[in-house]
């Protein structure tokens, strides 16, 4: 039987040869998941032998990762804004950049505010759930076209104890079938903003495993911004705010779209790489 240390060393070498980034970290995180311990706890158990069941499961995890399946899907969960979220191939993996979107909204309002919030394209529910958690007096409507994504979002809402604050709905914003006239204080969306041309050149972790419909609009990457800006005119209250996550290089075009659709006081926030990542505007 292989020990913890021997297993990590062999797996690290294997993943290195397959071209996986941070192979040692990947190997340790997957083994920690199997052994139900923290990654650092492995260092106290280097001589512990793995039993047959643990060895077989670890080999399966390593095989999946070697084919560029994202680590988060293999582990089955990810941390976002201090909370745990369950993820699988039906939903986009949360990114640190989206925490800036959530933080921008939270910094724009008070915890006690009774806000009516709409999250368009909720996916795993990370935005809706984070806002419900940290704006506890608010109510959130979260829409998505994917039933499997909505099921995952409902599971995550229950996990984070905000299921009673969020109304999850299957709806298509592109067909104008979502009718809530001037009802919302906030509309937020992290839309599919990768152009079809860019999509072809994505890393295999993204292109082969994450849902295509959550990544690209099959167009120029701006289609959902156009639609949501237009629809927000009838969905937001006057003075209501629209928040978007942005793709790299899109801030000028999205800002122009928002101003064209009666939004003013446009504010843009940068991410940790100094890239324009979040945009906000107020409906006139």
Q: What is the 3-state secondary structure (H, E, C) of the chain?
A: CCEHHHHHHHHHHHHHHCCCCCHHHHHHHHHHHHHCCCHHHHHHCCCCECCHHHHHHHHHHHHHHHCCCCHHHHHCEEEECCEEEECCCCCCCCCHHHHHHHHHHHCCCCCCCCCEEEEECCCCCHHHHHHHHHCCCCEEEEEECCHHHHHHHHHHHHHCCCHHHEEEEECCHHHCCCCCCCCEEEEEECCCCECHHHHCCCCHHHHHHCCHHHHECCCCCCHHHHHHHHHHHHHEEEEEEEEEECCCCCHHHHHHHHHHCCEEEEEEEECCCCCEEEEEEEEC
pTM, entire model? 0.92
**In this predicted model, what pLDDT tens digit does every residue of 2-39 receive, in sequence order?**
999 999 999 999 999 999 999 999 999 999 999 999 99
**In this predicted model, what pLDDT tens digit does every residue of 153-208 receive, in sequence order?**
999 999 999 999 999 999 988 876 676 667 899 999 999 999 999 999 999 999 99
pLDDT at 176: 65
Domain extents in the chain? 4-67, 90-283
pLDDT at 262: 93
Provide mean pLDDT across the span 71-82: 96
pLDDT at 274: 96
Provide mean pLDDT across the span 212-217: 94
pLDDT at 172: 85
State both tokens at 71. 């680590």
Cβ burial of 209 (10 Å; 0-12, 13-18, 19+) is middle
pLDDT at 174: 80
Ramachandran angles phi, psi of 92, nearest 5°: -65, 145
pLDDT at 47: 94
Distance CA(160)–CA(84), nearest Å, equals 8
State both tokens at 143. 């829409």
State both tokens at 6. 């021997």
pLDDT at 143: 95
- For residues 224 and 174, the model is more confident at 224
pLDDT at 175: 78
Residue range 90-283 in CATH 3.20.10.10: no
């Amino acid at each position: 039987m292989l020990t913890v240390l021997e297993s990590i060393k062999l797996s690290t070498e294997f993943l290195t040869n397959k071209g996986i980034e941070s192979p040692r970290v990947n190997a340790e995180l997957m083994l920690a998941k199997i052994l139900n311990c923290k990654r650092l706890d492995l260092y106290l158990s280097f001589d512990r032998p793995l039993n047959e069941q643990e060895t077989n499961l670890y080999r399966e995890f390593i095989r999946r990762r070697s084919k560029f399946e994202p680590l988060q899907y293999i582990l089955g969960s990810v941390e976002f804004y201090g909370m745990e979220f369950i993820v699988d191939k039906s939903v986009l993996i949360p990114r640190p950049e989206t925490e800036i979107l959530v933080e921008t909204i939270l910094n724009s309002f008070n915890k006690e505010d009774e806000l009516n919030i709409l999250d368009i394209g909720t996916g795993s529910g990370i935005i809706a759930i984070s806002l419900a958690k940290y704006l506890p007096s608010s109510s959130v409507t979260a829409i998505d076209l994917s039933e499997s994504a909505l099921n995952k979002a409902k599971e995550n809402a229950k996990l984070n104890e905000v299921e009673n604050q969020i109304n999850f709905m299957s709806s298509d914003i592109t067909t104008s079938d979502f009718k809530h006239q001037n009802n919302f204080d906030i509309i937020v969306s992290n839309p599919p903003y990768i152009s079809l041309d860019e999509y072809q050149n994505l890393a295999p972790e993204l292109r082969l495993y994450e849902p295509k419909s959550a990544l690209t609009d099959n167009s120029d990457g701006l289609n959902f911004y156009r639609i949501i800006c237009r629809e927000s005119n009838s969905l937001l209250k006057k003075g209501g705010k629209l928040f978007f996550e942005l793709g790299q290089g899109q801030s000028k075009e999205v800002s122009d779209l928002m101003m064209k659709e009666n939004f003013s006081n446009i504010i843009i926030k940068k991410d940790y790489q100094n890239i324009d990542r979040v945009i906000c505007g107020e409906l006139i």
